[in-house]
Amino acid sequence: MREIEFDVVVKAVKNMIMHCGTDLPQDTYMALEEAMEAEKSPVSKEVIRQILENADIAKDEKRPLCQDTGLAVFFVNVGEEVRINGGLLRDAINKGTEEGYTEGYLRASTCEPFSRANLKDTLGYNLPAIIHFDIVLGDKIDIEYAAKGGGSENVSRARVFPPAAGKDGIVEYVKEVISDAGGNPCPPITVGVGIGGTFEKACISSKHALFRDLETTNEDPEMAELEARMLHEINNLGIGAMGMGGTKTALAVHIESNPCHIASLPVSVNVQCHSSRHTHITI
Amino acid sequence: MATYTLTTPLTAEDTKQLVAGDTVLLNGTIFTARDAAHSRLVALIEAGEELPFDLEGSIIYFVGPTPPKPGDPIGSAGPTTSYRMDSFSPTMLKNGSKGMIGKGKRNQAVKDACVEYDGIYFGATGGAGALLGKQIRSAEVIAYPELGPEAVRKITVEDFPVTVVNDTKGNDIYQIGRAKYEVKA
Ligand code: SF4
């Protein structure tokens, strides 16, 4: 059994959060550069230019990329042969989140659902983090993190279709969700699509799909083809950067597909904005 | 599409020349308010009470900034989604405000109020919080400090870049732009 100190996890999580708050990941930066080149609308081209300039300023001056520094979302793969010395893994991740958001001058955005009272002085600064655990082989802990802003989360949707809806039905649904969203989720966006599983499995898969590197292609050729088809259809909507009209509404569509019940075809569409702050570490 | 440099407070003469899609560099004083502050401001207007600032010619920025680093006037300060202010904005425009800065589409009532009261809805680039925060030279909380990031701030901006989304003629760049680039199957 390998032992990892509680504080090692806290520090690793804190560093990830502070880095992500100010440094746009390389894959996203490069995809935005390509989008700026390809964009046909001058207004949208200028918007993407501002987005890239913003990323440069944020990195150089260590300022948050966006004022909405999101809820902290984690996917954590815990090796069966690891144990945390000095506390619970969940507590270590939450502590790292609180320290990262505080020391990085990031915004505390968690609140009580109805009174809307900010939870920073009660539960903790930007706590609780949203954490999805899985158990895997080995003696390592793999932590994927993303800052998830409200603008893009608010336009996300899920629906359980009858099996007959098929690929055409899903493509239409994705188009409808993105079309209704317009400029609200801060395009150019990344679209995560979770297919199959149960209702909640589809939702979690659509979130996890957003963590995938933009330079990768889906390992399943059938899904890769479906991603390309959806991307094409979304970019034909004409929404453009920040909804100003244009040819580059999405940078990528990522699908995660799961086996499902013979009676149903669950689909979830989770949207991530251009400020796609995500990273991962292995301890 | 033209580029203008304007200084607040704005007059009807300033706003009427602007067309959806134009770029404007804003200078001068702007006030920040989000949902919670708007509901309080509109309640004051409806009760006939005095507001914490003069609405005449004012621009309201929908923003909840990050905490400032030591020595900075403000943290990152990009726009928040505007539709949450749709039910309040017509009252603000009716009472003298001339502009709003946010992101995302507005409802018909807001667009109609822009036409009726010579108001403009400006879009700032969402997610460009570091760049936009840098154009803010000073910031001071003038009302509702208990709302934290949502408090009303008086900020001074220099060449703050925005795009005209809804103009005084009823045009909407989101509709015009999209129609131009949409590829119908
Ligand atoms: S959608 Fe993303 S880029 Fe836009 S304001 Fe929210 S977090 Fe920032």
Q: Domain residue spans in chain B?
A: 3-181
Q: Is residue A30 part of a domain?
A: no
**pLDDT (tens digit, 9 = 90+) per residue, A33-62?**
999 999 999 999 999 999 999 999 999 999
Question: Average model confidence (pLDDT) for chain A?
Answer: 96
Judge: domain B3-181, CATH 3.20.130.10: yes
Average pLDDT (B125-151) is 91
CA angle A74, B64, B113 (to 5 degrees): 125
User: In this predicted structure, what is the pLDDT of residue A12?
Assistant: 98
> What is the helix (H) or strand (E) element at residue B152, kind and residue range?
strand B152-166
Q: Of the residues A125, A148, A171, which one is the last residue of a structural domain?
A: A148
Of all residues in chain A, what percent carry a pLDDT higher than 70? 100
**Cβ-Cβ contacts under 8 Å for A18 (sequence gap 6 or more):** A100, A103, A104, A106
Name the pLDDT band for B128 (thresholds 50, 70, 90): very high
Cross-chain Cβ contact B182/A275 below 8 Å:
no
Q: Is residue A36 part of a domain?
A: no
Q: Is the pLDDT reported for residue B6 higher than 90?
A: yes
What is d(CA A230, CA A214) in angstroms, rounded to the nearest whole number? Answer: 15
Q: Is the pLDDT reported for residue A207 higher than 90?
A: yes
Ligand 1 centroid–CA A73 distance in Å is 15
Cross-chain Cβ contact B104/A47 below 8 Å:
no
* Marked catalytic residue, from B6, B10, B37, B38: B38
How many CB atoms neighbour CB B73 within 10 A? 16
Cross-chain Cβ contact B130/A54 below 8 Å:
yes
Q: Is residue A28 part of a domain?
A: no
Q: How many angstroms separate the Cα of B7 from the Cα of each of B22, B121, B129?
A: 16, 16, 21
Residues 107-126 of B with CB under 8 A from A: 123, 125-126
Alpha helices in chain A (DSSP H): 6-22, 26-38, 42-61, 89-103, 150-153, 166-181, 199-209, 221-235
Q: Record the tokens describing residue B101, joined without a space.
A: 């800065």
What CATH number corresponds to the domain at position A169?
3.30.1330
User: In this predicted structure, what is the pLDDT of residue B97?
Assistant: 97
What is d(CA A142, CA A120) in angstroms, rounded to the nearest whole number? Answer: 27
Ligand 1 centroid–CA B67 distance in Å is 17
Interface predicted TM-score of the whole assembly (ipTM), two decimals: 0.90
User: In this predicted structure, what is the pLDDT of residue B64?
Assistant: 86
Q: Are A163 and A265 in contact (CB under 8 A)?
A: yes
Q: Which of A156, A180, A244 to mutate to test the interface with B (most CBs of B within 10 A)?
A: A244
Q: Are B56 and B96 in contact (CB under 8 A)?
A: yes
Residues 136-165 of B with CB under 8 A from A: 148-149, 161, 163
User: In this predicted structure, what is the pLDDT of residue A152?
Assistant: 94
Q: Are A77 and A134 in contact (CB under 8 A)?
A: yes
User: In this predicted structure, what is the pLDDT of residue A117?
Assistant: 81
Q: Is residue A34 part of a domain?
A: no
Amino acid at B142: I
| A257 and A205 housed in the same domain | yes
> What is the helix (H) or strand (E) element at residue A146, kind and residue range?
strand A141-148
The values of phi and psi at residue A198, to 5°, are: -105, -175
Q: For residue B19, list chain A residues with Cβ-Cβ distance below 8 A.
A: none
Q: Is the pLDDT reported for residue B185 higher than 80?
A: no
- Residue identifier of the C-alpha nearest atom 1 of ligand 1: A151
In 3D, which of B175, B174, B171, B32 has the Cα closest to residue B99? Answer: B32
Q: Is residue A184 part of a domain?
A: yes
User: In this predicted structure, what is the pLDDT of residue A129?
Assistant: 97
In 3D, which of A132, A102, A145, A100 has the Cα closest to residue A120? Answer: A102
Closest chain B CA to residue A54: B131
Closest chain A CA to residue B83: A184
| A177 and A202 housed in the same domain | yes
| A107 and A162 housed in the same domain | no
| A116 and A6 housed in the same domain | yes
Active site (annotated) includes residue B74? no
Work out the end-to-end distance of chain A between its first and last CA atoms, rounded to an integer number of angstroms. Answer: 14
Q: Is the pLDDT reported for residue A233 higher than 90?
A: yes
| A113 and A205 housed in the same domain | no
| A143 and A164 housed in the same domain | no
What is d(CA A194, CA A81) in angstroms, rounded to the nearest whole number? Answer: 30
- What is the number of domains present in chain A? 2
The DSSP line for B43-77 is: HHHHTTPPPSS--TT-EEE---PPPPPTT-S----
User: In this predicted structure, what is the pLDDT of residue B184?
Assistant: 85
Q: Are A181 and A235 in contact (CB under 8 A)?
A: no
Q: Please tell me which of the candidates B126, B148, B183 has its beta carbon nearest to residue A242.
A: B126
| A15 and A76 housed in the same domain | yes
User: In this predicted structure, what is the pLDDT of residue B130?
Assistant: 94
Cross-chain Cβ contact A67/B133 below 8 Å:
yes
Name the pLDDT band for B42 (thresholds 50, 70, 90): very high
Q: Is the pLDDT reported for residue B84 higher than 90?
A: yes
Task: Output the pTM of the full model.
Answer: 0.93
User: In this predicted structure, what is the pLDDT of residue A115?
Assistant: 81
Q: Is residue A217 part of a domain?
A: yes
Q: For residue B181, list chain A residues with Cβ-Cβ distance below 8 A.
A: 40-41, 238, 240, 245-247
| A238 and A222 housed in the same domain | yes
Average pLDDT (A187-211) is 98
Ligand 1 centroid–CA B78 distance in Å is 8
- Ligand 1 within 6 A of A79 CB? no
| A139 and A168 housed in the same domain | no
User: In this predicted structure, what is the pLDDT of residue A17?
Assistant: 97
Cross-chain Cβ contact A67/B161 below 8 Å:
no
Q: Of the residues A90, A115, A148, which one is the last residue of a structural domain?
A: A148
Q: Is residue A47 part of a domain?
A: no
Q: What is the dihedral of CA A44, B10, B33, B29, to 10 degrees?
A: 100
Pocket test for ligand 1, best of A50, A68, A69, A178 (most atoms within 8 A of CB): A68
Ligand 1 centroid–CA A275 distance in Å is 6
Ligand 1 centroid–CA A65 distance in Å is 9
Q: Is the pLDDT reported for residue A118 higher than 90?
A: no
Average pLDDT (B18-42) is 95
Beta bridge partner(s), residue A71: A148
User: In this predicted structure, what is the pLDDT of residue B145?
Assistant: 87
| A115 and A164 housed in the same domain | no
User: In this predicted structure, what is the pLDDT of residue A242?
Assistant: 96
Q: Of the residues A85, A119, A148, which one is the last residue of a structural domain?
A: A148
User: In this predicted structure, what is the pLDDT of residue B1?
Assistant: 78
User: In this predicted structure, what is the pLDDT of residue A63?
Assistant: 93
- Ligand 1 within 6 A of A68 CB? yes
Containing structural domain, residue A71: 2-20+65-148
Name the pLDDT band for A24 (thresholds 50, 70, 90): very high
Bridge-based pairing state of the strands A157-161 and A265-272: antiparallel
Q: Is residue A55 part of a domain?
A: no
